[in-house]
Structure 1
Amino acid sequence: MLRFILKRLGLALLVALTVSFISFSLLFLAGDPAIAIAGESANAKDIQAIRELYGFDRPMLVQYADWLWNALRFDFGQSYYFKLPVADLIAERLSVTMTLGVCGILFALLTAVPLGVIAAIRPNSLIDRIALFLSVAGQAMPSFWFGLILIVVFAIQLGWLPASGASSWQHFIMPTVVLGYYAMPAIMRLTRAGMLEVLSADYIRTARAKGAPEGRVLFKHALRNAIIPVVSLAAVQMGFMLGGSIVVESIFALHGAGYLAWESIGRNDLPTVQALILVFALFYIVFTFLADVLNAWLDPRMRSA
């Protein structure tokens, strides 16, 4: 198991290094950052002064090496727009996004996995059709539209929940439902398909023939094997929730890291955008690494991969 973990850890570090270089390069390939900072109306002299001030006149590999070395020390420079250290900006906003992402994936798992298991146990039943309907609706319904509907119903008409802000746990209820509901369909379908496949396996029939309790058969033997791909999917969905929560944060006025990314892109705040891309990519890598370790613990056959 230790060898498997070290191998996956080395691969994760290599991916992180590659992603950091690609993200750094893409931002420079999109255009001259000096022009973006100075504005289109600036003259050539001002643009050259900004290029020299921020070091954009140096070779890109030299700039990347300096940026990566500073990033390893959690120094991402100063925001061009906010005039504050980028690390402080992200640390201030990340707690909101982390809270929203964790609550969203928990809501999705606690709802989708039980529905997928029940739908697999009772195929073509009413609960199976309800699960299928929720799955289709979750894919077809835009998150911004669903969020606005919840605000109109529960905040404006009923007055049960606050429509915006992040000062209390009530403010996270509707954003959690919107963000989690988007991840539910894939998790539910994968759980249902995995359970249907496992329940038809020979070892399940053998366990039942030996008189094992149905609950033990379902949860210890069937679900443990069917949940392995769900763990990997949940890790990817968690990374998406942290990096792709811009729409939800905008609708509910949650000023988290996703909303900060939207602000920084619109204002050509290059250091903040670079740092956020790296942070969101690292979240994907960390969650994928943890999912691989958990899957190896659930299925020892994966440790030889």
Structure 2
Amino acid sequence: MLSFIARRLGLAALVALTVSALSFGLLFLSGDPASAIAGEGANDADIAAIRSFYGFDRPVIVQYGDWLWSALHGDFGQSYYFQLPVSSLIADRLSVTMTLGVCGIVFALAVAIPLGVAAAVRPNSIVDRLALFLSVVGQAMPSFWFGLLLIVLFAVKLGWLPPSGTQSWTNFVMPTVVLGYYAMPAIMRLTRAGMLEVLGADYIRTARAKGAGEWRVLFKHALRNAVIPVVSLAAVQMGFMLGGSIVVESVFALHGAGFLAWESIGRNDLPTVQALILIFSMFYIVFTFLADILNAWLDPRMRTG
């Protein structure tokens, strides 16, 4: 197990280094960053002064090394637009996105896995067709449209929930449903397919022949093996929720890190965009690494694969 963890950790470190290089390369993707900072009316002297002030006149590899070393110490530079340290700017917003992402994935797993199991146990039944219907609707309906529907119904018509803000836990109910509902279809279908495959295995028939109860067969023997690919998918979905929550945060006026990314892109705030891409990518890497470890614990065959 330790050798498996070491291999996965080394791979994660290589991926993180590659992502950091790509994140830094965004600074030069749109051309000369000094010209972008100076604006349209700047003259050559102003651009040269900005290039010297920010160190853009140094070799690129030196700039990358300094940026990476500072990033490892939590220093992502100064925001061009907000004129604040990028690290403190992201720290103020990240808690909202983290809360929304964790609540979203918990909601998706809590609904999708039981529905997937029920659909596999009763194929072609009403439950199976309901799960299929929810899956199709979840992928077909845009998240912003679903969010607006919930606001009109539960905030405007019924007045049960606040339409925006982050004052209390009630502000996160509708955004959680919207974000989690988008991840439900894939998790539900994968759970159903895995359970259908596992329920036909020999060891399931053996467990039933020995007199094991149906709940024990389903949740101890079958689900443990069927859930392995679901763990990997949930890790990817969790990373997506953190990095792709821009639309949901915009609809519900949740000023989290996703909304900050949208603001920074529109205002050409390159240091903030760089830092957010790097941080969101690190979330993907960490969640995938943890999913690999959990899968190896669930299925010992993966440790020697």
Unaligned runs of 5+ residues in structure 2 are none
Q: Which is worse superposed, 161-170 or 200-209? A: 200-209
- Report what 1:78 is aligned to: 78
Query: Aligned partner of 1:131: which letter?
Result: A
CA deviations over 1:42-90 (Å, ceiling 9, x no partner) = 2222112111111111111111000000001101111111111111011
- Report what 2:187 is aligned to: 187
Tell whether 2:203 aligns with 1:217.
no
Alignment of 1:29-48 (within 5 A): 29-48=29-48
**CA distance, structure 1, for counterparts of residue 249 and residue 258 of structure 2:** 7
Q: Is the 8 A contact 2:26 2:274 kept in 1?
A: no
Unaligned runs of 5+ residues in structure 1 are none
**CA distance, structure 1, for counterparts of residue 51 and residue 269 of structure 2:** 15
Alignment of 1:33-182 (within 5 A): 33-182=33-182
- Report what 1:235 is aligned to: 235
Give the fraction of aligned pairs with identical amino acids, expressed as a percent.
Answer: 81
- Report what 2:202 is aligned to: 202
- Report what 2:276 is aligned to: 276
Tell whether 2:288 aligns with 1:285.
no
Aligned Cα root-mean-square deviation (Å): 0.8
Query: Aligned partner of 1:128: which letter?
Result: D
Secondary structure (helix, strand or coil) at the match of 2:41 reads coil
Secondary structure (helix, strand or coil) at the match of 1:211 reads coil
Query: 1:27: how far off?
Result: 3.2
Q: What TM-score, normalized by structure 1, do the two folds share?
A: 0.99
**CA distance, structure 2, for counterparts of residue 221 and residue 285 of structure 1:** 30
CA deviations over 1:18-47 (Å, ceiling 9, x no partner) = 110012113312222112111122222211
CA deviations over 1:162-185 (Å, ceiling 9, x no partner) = 000001000000000000000000
**CA distance, structure 2, for counterparts of residue 208 and residue 70 of structure 1:** 59
After TM superposition, what 4+ stretches of structure 1 lie above 6 angstroms from structure 2? none
Q: Which is worse superposed, 18-27 or 160-169? A: 18-27
Query: Aligned partner of 1:149: which letter?
Result: L
**CA distance, structure 1, for counterparts of residue 3 and residue 30 of structure 2:** 41
**CA distance, structure 2, for counterparts of residue 7 and residue 217 of structure 1:** 34
**CA distance, structure 1, for counterparts of residue 35 and residue 47 of structure 2:** 6
Query: 1:91: how far off?
Result: 0.7
Query: Aligned partner of 2:103: which letter?
Result: C
**CA distance, structure 1, for counterparts of residue 30 and residue 202 of structure 2:** 56
CA deviations over 1:220-239 (Å, ceiling 9, x no partner) = 11000000000000000000
Secondary structure (helix, strand or coil) at the match of 2:211 reads coil
Query: 1:155: how far off?
Result: 0.5
- Report what 1:25 is aligned to: 25
Query: Aligned partner of 1:69: which letter?
Result: W
**CA distance, structure 1, for counterparts of residue 41 and residue 174 of structure 2:** 43
Secondary structure (helix, strand or coil) at the match of 1:152 reads helix
- Report what 1:14 is aligned to: 14
**CA distance, structure 1, for counterparts of residue 280 and residue 203 of structure 2:** 41
Length, aligned pairs only: 305
Tell whether 2:276 aligns with 1:295.
no
**CA distance, structure 1, for counterparts of residue 77 and residue 184 of structure 2:** 38
Secondary structure (helix, strand or coil) at the match of 2:21 reads helix
**CA distance, structure 1, for counterparts of residue 185 and residue 242 of structure 2:** 18
Query: 1:213: how far off?
Result: 1.0
**CA distance, structure 2, for counterparts of residue 212 and residue 190 of structure 1:** 25
